[in-house]
Amino acid sequence: MNKYIKYLILLLPGLSILYLIKFNVAGLPTNVFEVLIYLCAIAAVIYNPGWRKLSKSEKLSIGLIGLISLISLIVSPQKRDALGIIKGWIVPAILVYWMLKNALDSESNVKIMLKAMAYQGVLVAIVAIAQQIPAVQQWWINQYPDLGQYLNTGRAVSLFNSPNAAAMILVPALIICWQLQSRSLDNAKPDKIDWLNFLIFIITALGLYETKSRGGFIALIVGLFVYILWIKRQRVWAHIIVAGTFLISNPIVYSILAKQNPDNMDIRVNIWQKSWELVQYNWFLGVGLGNFHNKFAEYTLHQPNYDEYITPYAVHPHNIILYIWLSFGLLGFLGFVNFIYWLHKSTLGTKSPLAILGAVLILTILIHGMIDLTIFKNDLIIWFVTALAMVKAKDRLNV
């Protein structure tokens, strides 16, 4: 295969920031990153038709994703939005997974990809840090007045529309920076500090700090603890930390507690509570892809203060489990549970640093997703399937 195309495929996760450059083609919205993915996929088919085929289990999984997405499209009254999600998130994610599964055929290729992801993280961090400079901050507010609600309170948004969106990239980027600095992928202890990777780690950490994202801080701390424990073969403690974190951050628990004390809830807990009620009324088919906000607004129409203070923030349920269940129905939820079981089974006894890193990246994205929506975002869904490809690569690489 043309080596330049292969390198471009390896750089795709690190170029995911390009989704912010948007435009229309024949009236259809798209972005630079989405077009790049489709072009790479076409080039991969043309120049290397002999690339490894997907396994039977992978074909079955993709088929089920397609079937569930089709059902969700039929259920949703918002057909255009639903098709946009399939075109912009689901299909590109499948294509990137397939391409990376084939491109990650050597340790050097793995490092190229990881460095590209770390460099994107440090770019996001540098912008976040710069936004604390008064002149830069004021310029940003003048250009994007809606972001003043965050920047005026000292919370950086970097290149995104909220501090949490920036933190979603910075947390997995920090985990990768930690790995590059510790050289755990080489199964070796560094004999001296790699000052470039160390500097990238510090800058990325400062960028995350400037977002003031509590979800990001929790995901990072848990991710680093689990990563270190797993590398040191302390898997029991790693499992205890993961289970405890998911239990504590479960929105269903918050929703139940909220009913006991309805006067002491923040906006997010209100959204979780009503989203869980929507699940109870739409437990089988959900509400359809791209239809959550409309359904939420309809459901809370006569609730006091919702229309003015809460519904505008209910673009999604701020939780990955609630989003999957409401968007893809019971089948989607069960598929997600099955994925968690597969991930646990696949990495339970592994000694592969690459597989452990991939699993921890998935873990941090999911933990952050308990209080926000991580996977279903143009860049995060690509980082998610990239981590998945890393877990699967352990079967091909001695890394």
Residues 295, 152 share a domain: no
More confident call, 247 vs 128: 128
**Domain membership flag for residue 330:** no
Gap between the Cα atoms of 91 and 85, Å rounded: 9
The answer on pLDDT for 183 being more than 70 is: no
Residues 380, 366 share a domain: yes
**Domain membership flag for residue 91:** yes
Residues 206, 115 share a domain: yes
Gap between the Cα atoms of 237 and 322, Å rounded: 28
Cβ pair 389, 104 in contact under 8 A: yes
18-43 confidence digits (pLDDT tens): 999 999 988 889 999 999 999 999 99
Residues 281, 193 share a domain: no
pLDDT of residue 47: 83
Residues 227, 296 share a domain: no
Residues 18, 160 share a domain: yes
More confident call, 105 vs 279: 279
Residues 130, 63 share a domain: yes
The answer on pLDDT for 145 being more than 90 is: yes
**What's the pLDDT band for 118 if we cut at 50, 70, 90?**
very high
**Domain membership flag for residue 399:** no
Residues 135, 118 share a domain: yes
Residues 266, 198 share a domain: no
Gap between the Cα atoms of 141 and 130, Å rounded: 13
Q: Structurally, how many domains does the chain consist of? A: 2
**Domain membership flag for residue 344:** no
Residues 371, 310 share a domain: no
Model confidence, pTM: 0.91
- Domain extent at residue 301: 251-320
